[in-house]
Amino acid sequence: MIYIHVPFCKRFCIYCDFFSELYSEEEAERFADRVCEEISARSNEIDDRVKTLYFGGGTASVLPLTTLSRILIALDKSGHGGPYTEFTIEANPEDIVERGVNYVRSLCALGMNRLSIGVQSFDDNLLGWMNRRHNAARAVEAVRIAREAGVKNLSIDLIFGLSNLSDEVWEDTLDKAVALRVEHISCYQLTVEGDCALAGMVRDGLYEEASDELCARQYGILCRKLAEAGYHHYEISNFALPGFEAIHNGGYWQRISYAGFGPSAHSFSGKRRSWNSPVLNDYVRTEETLSDEDCAVETIMLALRRDIGIDAPTLEKLCSKEAIDKLIAEGALRKADGRYSIPEDHFFVSDQIIRKLI
Ligand code: SF4
């Protein structure tokens, strides 16, 4: 599993805490030089047992095709080139619409077989408030263009849990998402983190964070609507038409080794975790070795995010019988077919449930 962090955006969303700089062609070329060097220096860390490639960011779709090709050639030279079981590129709707169907066809020709579009909302007021580059019509157009180009596995991201997002607008966004019949939908609750613009707005009294009650209600609406539309709620924040569950992200939840390249990218190999510093081009790497306890906590936290949960012997070995029995009695955990899992109606409070276990 390979992750490439593309640290550029053309505009910054008010809630964003990812590492990203303003896009420029020269910086993108320097970034590609550095990533190609890094791939060649660390190729022995790439584990192809789950053969996926994921370009995230930032905004991966700002990269020129020639720059993207250079990185793919570096992967090829390192012995870890395509075809990949799943090759995802994250894209901003505006990049797809501006660059058109031939751009997406070229991505497909380079081996991309999954496009993840950052839609976030189908409400223009909310998109404007977030400082997104696109509006709702451009998001719909981006999906149309991707289909015209032949993309068979499309994912969109949506955001809920904002104090200025009404239930009606959220329902409308979900209706529009479902109408597009994309194969995969990721829905994230807005959190105000780090020193993003929204955090400043909270400090200045210009934005009040949504209540837990509102977030829980909107999460409930999400679960109901997407179930009605035939989506499989396979992970707390992720829904897929059957057979389109994400393979790359699925690997993270199963603690499969991955190698991350580019500034702020993380890597993992069994007992070692490392991350590049969030600095353009001159980034350095920090490593830590996980203790048995760290590994156990991670295993539980990640496995219980998925609807299939964790196999019973593993959880029983890692947690006390008393804690497990208590959660089962409360309906917060269930056991079926030799596995423990959190029922969907308790997904929203999964953090609290996991805390009781570890
Ligand atoms: S949310 Fe995505 S597009 Fe917006 S600033 Fe962050 S990385 Fe860039």
Domains along the sequence of the chain with CATH: 2-253 (3.80.30.20), 292-358 (1.10.10)
Write the CA distances from 145 to 54, 263, 275, integer angstroms. Answer: 21, 31, 35
What spacing in Å lies between the alpha carbon of 89 and ligand 1's midpoint?
14
List the single range of 103-112, 220-229, 278-287 with lowest mean pLDDT.
Answer: 278-287
Q: How far apart are CA 305 and CA 316, in angstroms?
A: 17
How far from each other are the two terminal CA atoms of the chain, in whole angstroms?
28
Mean pLDDT of 68-87: 98
> Residue 152: pLDDT band by 50, 70, 90 thresholds?
very high
Average pLDDT over residues 322-344: 97
Take atom 6 of ligand 1 and give the residue whose Cα is closest: 16
Does ligand 1 lie within 6 Å of residue 188's CB atom?
Answer: no
Residue of 14, 16, 162 best suited for mutating to test ligand 1, as the one with most atoms within 8 Å of CB: 16
Q: Taking residues 290-303, what's their average pLDDT?
A: 95
The protein residue whose alpha carbon is closest to atom 4 in ligand 1 is 13
Mean pLDDT of the chain: 97
For ligand 1, mutation pick of 11, 13, 62, 264 (most atoms within 8 Å of CB): 13
pLDDT tens digits, one per residue of 4-31: 999 999 999 999 999 999 999 999 999 9
pLDDT band at 246 (very low <50, low <70, confident <90, very high): very high
Average pLDDT, stretch 209-216?
97
pLDDT in the model for residue 109: 98
In percent, the amount of the chain with pLDDT more than 90 equals: 97
Q: What pLDDT was estimated at residue 194?
A: 86
From ligand 1's centre to the CA of 9, what distance in Å? 6
Exposure b/e, 212-235, CB count within 10 A at least 16 = b: eebbebbbeebbebbeebebbbbb
Atom from ligand 1 closest to the CA of residue 131: 4
Q: What is the pLDDT of residue 358?
A: 87
Across 32-38, average pLDDT: 97
Whether 57 lines ligand 1, by a CB cut-off of 6 Å, is yes
Q: Is the pTM of this model over 0.95?
A: yes
Find, among 342, 322, 326, the residue nearest to 334 by Cα.
342
Give residue 14's pLDDT: 97
Residue 281 has pLDDT above 90, yes or no: no
Whether the CB-CB separation of 10 and 62 falls below 8 Å is answered with yes
C-alpha dist (Å) from residue 112 to 96, 130, 149, 195: 14, 29, 12, 33
